[in-house]
Chain A
Amino acid sequence: MTNPMIVIKDLTKRFGTTVALDKISAEIGEGEFFSLLGPSGCGKTTLLRTIAGFGEPDGGSIYIDGQTMAGVEANRRPTNMVFQNYAVFPHMAVWENVAFGLRRRRLARREMENLVDEALSMVGLDGFGAREPHSLSGGQRQRVALARALVLRPKVLLLDEPLSALDKQLREQMQSELRHLQRAVGITFVLVTHDQEEALNMSDRIAVMFDGRIVQQSTPQDIYMKPVTRQVAEFIGLMNFLGVCVKSETPAGYRVDVAGLGEVDIERGQVGSTASMSTLTAGVRPETLTILFDESDASAREVHGTVSDASYFGDMTYYDVMLKGCDEPVTISMRNTVARPVLASGAKVRIGWDADSIILL
């Protein structure tokens, strides 16, 4: 991580008796694309709003670019926010919306015109200056909100679920546009989302939040491959959970018996940081299990199973497969190919797996 742009220490916020933020600490680097990911009600929006300066925290502190934000109101902070519903001023044309912040700074007319036009072109809205907000599509309104915030060159741009109101195709397009925009302007972006795919594909780092706490703070790859708790693993992507029995401790880790798969050596790095021996389970991602379709396919470790269900998604098929010694089927995702048939339920299959892809939680 580069120099920290935002430092959050023991931040606490209560609404009545509910604790919305429970002693949150985090560092967000300069120029980083940082996502706050979690289910609704986990406190991610409250955290974002507290960074923006809406609502005083009940404890802890926020520093932005080395400056304490205690007692600094939202309009004096080096942050700007893109609201979930965009909050484009309905009674002002697009150009006036973007110029709003600059007018408050009393810029010279010429300079302001240049900055507004530049910001509009940056978000792909050249020539939209005279349009009224009600004549714009959702995606265009979002761009106005972005231009309006970015034109002020904030040190931090805060985005509150900016893509949740868009349809799937536009959302995916805006994801990559936002990412490119962030790289181009080099401003620190903090994004709130409940959509794990969005967080995974846009962020440099992600903080996963549950019940007012940050449970894991890491890169998308780490969050996906090495979730620290079962809660994180369940929230992000699909994860199979299998029963585990620890047989012995080895120099490198543990020898365990995984239900349905068999005995295997697990390294310490594959054990979640909050794992407790009494409630241990093994997590296996669906794509790390492989159905061995051909006789000639081989894997170092193989088990036998029976397909109980198949869900076809075009590019992928998700199979539910019963393994011997398991009460519930495991999910296995397989990329479809032209030559490969979609198996019917009841089909007997060989499954290849790998010790490295197992994590203990």
Chain B
Amino acid sequence: MTFRKLSWLAFYTAMFLVFLYAPVILLPIFAFNDSKIVAFPLRGFTLDWFRLLLEQDQLHSSLRNSLIVAVATSLISTTLGICAARAAARYRFPVKRGIMGLIMVPLVLPEIIVGVSLLVVILQLGMDLSLWSIVLGHVLICTPFSLIILTTAFSNLDRSLEESAFDLGGDRWSTFRLISLPLVMPGVISSLLMTFTISLDEFIIAFFLAGTETTLPVYIWGQLRFPGKLPSIMALGTIMLAVSLVLLIFAAYFRRRGERRAGAVAAGGVF
């Protein structure tokens, strides 16, 4: 490769990274800026915007709602993911590809469509909108992620380990509990963290399906109407960014550890 080509590639890469991350970096910068106006030049360092967050009751209740939704979503979608991934890795059944494909579809379905159609269904059924209707929507979009992570974990799991446990007198449940589950546990943890993160900052479905109680992203959107609140929203965004990053790093760590334990060579991957 010539130097000229290389420098173009380097320039392209640099621009790409700036485009991708510069807006994100603005978030923590203005969160600590001592001014109500979100603009350069910076005025000075302050923790006031973070202090302000502590005083808003509505923020606290929406944070609590978000945590409830995220925990419930991650548990339910990971459980569903375990069942589907094990079935996919171990059994052959009619229209398996079709069924697996249908589980994966919400991954590419626009969230607004998921949101609107679920809203219509729930209203038609005469059910009330609540945190649980949000959980329903989130499980729908999170299960594909669980399935991807756990399918890798289950297909890396040597089948003869399960057979051996069964051969030694274990029943199906003890084989699953004592052999399969501990060996795919890194994948399970990775899936829990991943789906928790996705649910925590999901907006569109939460916006459509929220009843009187809102989640954090919906609350933030509401606050954006008041320019004076913008810096504290940036402070909140900074915290969420940090938490998401930590969770995703943990998720990647556990996924890789799982691959190593199963003896597979780490093959890159998204994270």
Contact between chains at A101 and B168 (CB < 8 Å): yes
> Does A81 interact with chain B (Cβ within 8 Å)?
yes
Contact between chains at B183 and A90 (CB < 8 Å): yes
Contact between chains at A100 and B182 (CB < 8 Å): no
> Does A347 interact with chain B (Cβ within 8 Å)?
no
Contact between chains at B165 and A80 (CB < 8 Å): no
Q: Which stretch in B56-64, B156-164, B211-219 binds the other chain?
A: B156-164
Residues of B contacting A83 in the complex (Cβ-Cβ under 8 angstroms): 160, 163-164
Interface string of B173-185 (1 = CB under 8 A from A): 0100011001100
Residues of B contacting A54 in the complex (Cβ-Cβ under 8 angstroms): 163, 167
Residues of B contacting A100 in the complex (Cβ-Cβ under 8 angstroms): 165, 168, 170, 178
Residues of B contacting A84 in the complex (Cβ-Cβ under 8 angstroms): 160
Contact between chains at A90 and B167 (CB < 8 Å): no
Contact between chains at B167 and A89 (CB < 8 Å): no
A80 to B164, CA, bound (A): 9
Most A-side CB within 10 Å, residue of B164, B165, B179, B183: B164
Q: Nearest chain A CB to B163's CB is how many angstroms away?
A: 6
Contact between chains at A91 and B183 (CB < 8 Å): yes
Residues of A contacting B171 in the complex (Cβ-Cβ under 8 angstroms): 75
- For A160, give the chain B residue with the smallest CB separation: B160
Q: Nearest chain A CB to B8's CB is how many angstroms away?
A: 47
> Does A136 interact with chain B (Cβ within 8 Å)?
no
* Pick from B160, B169, B178, B261: contact of A87, CB under 8 Å: B160
Contact between chains at B167 and A80 (CB < 8 Å): yes
Most A-side CB within 10 Å, residue of B161, B169, B261: B169
> Does B166 interact with chain A (Cβ within 8 Å)?
yes
Residues A97-139 near B (CB distance < 8 A): 100-101, 104-105
Number of A-B contacts (CB under 8 A): 56
Q: Nearest chain A CB to B53's CB is how many angstroms away?
A: 43
Residues of B contacting A53 in the complex (Cβ-Cβ under 8 angstroms): 167
A202 to B180, CA, bound (A): 35
A89 to B175, CA, bound (A): 11
Category for how many chain B residues contact A: 10 to 19
Residues of B contacting A85 in the complex (Cβ-Cβ under 8 angstroms): 158, 160
A228 to B179, CA, bound (A): 46
Residues of B contacting A101 in the complex (Cβ-Cβ under 8 angstroms): 168-169
**Given A87-B158, A90-B261, A91-B182, are A105 and B169 neighbors across the interface (CB < 8 Å)?**
yes
Interface string of B114-152 (1 = CB under 8 A from A): 000000000000000000000000000000000000000
A6 to B182, CA, bound (A): 36
A100 to B171, CA, bound (A): 12
* Pick from A73, A91, A152: contact of B168, CB under 8 Å: A152
- For A90, give the chain B residue with the smallest CB separation: B261
A305 to B265, CA, bound (A): 57
Residues of A contacting B166 in the complex (Cβ-Cβ under 8 angstroms): 73-75
Contact between chains at B161 and A89 (CB < 8 Å): yes
Contact between chains at A80 and B168 (CB < 8 Å): yes
Residues of B contacting A52 in the complex (Cβ-Cβ under 8 angstroms): 167
Contact between chains at B164 and A81 (CB < 8 Å): yes
Residues A124-170 near B (CB distance < 8 A): 148-149, 152
Residues of B contacting A81 in the complex (Cβ-Cβ under 8 angstroms): 163-164, 167
- For B164, give the chain A residue with the smallest CB separation: A87
Contact between chains at B169 and A152 (CB < 8 Å): yes
Residues A20-59 near B (CB distance < 8 A): 52-54
- For B168, give the chain A residue with the smallest CB separation: A101
A-B contact pairs, 30 of them (CB 8 A): A53-B167, A54-B163, A73-B166, A74-B166, A74-B167, A80-B167, A80-B168, A81-B163, A81-B164, A81-B167, A83-B160, A83-B164, A84-B160, A85-B160, A87-B158, A87-B163, A89-B161, A89-B165, A90-B183, A90-B261, A100-B170, A100-B178, A101-B168, A101-B169, A104-B168, A104-B169, A104-B174, A148-B168, A149-B168, A152-B168
Q: A85-B160, A87-B158 are in contact. List 11 more A-B contacts (CB 8 A).
A: A52-B167, A54-B163, A54-B167, A80-B168, A83-B160, A89-B164, A91-B261, A101-B168, A104-B169, A105-B169, A148-B168
For the complex of A and B, 10 pairs with smallest distance between CB atoms:
A101-B168, A87-B164, A104-B169, A87-B160, A83-B160, A101-B169, A81-B167, A74-B167, A75-B166, A87-B161
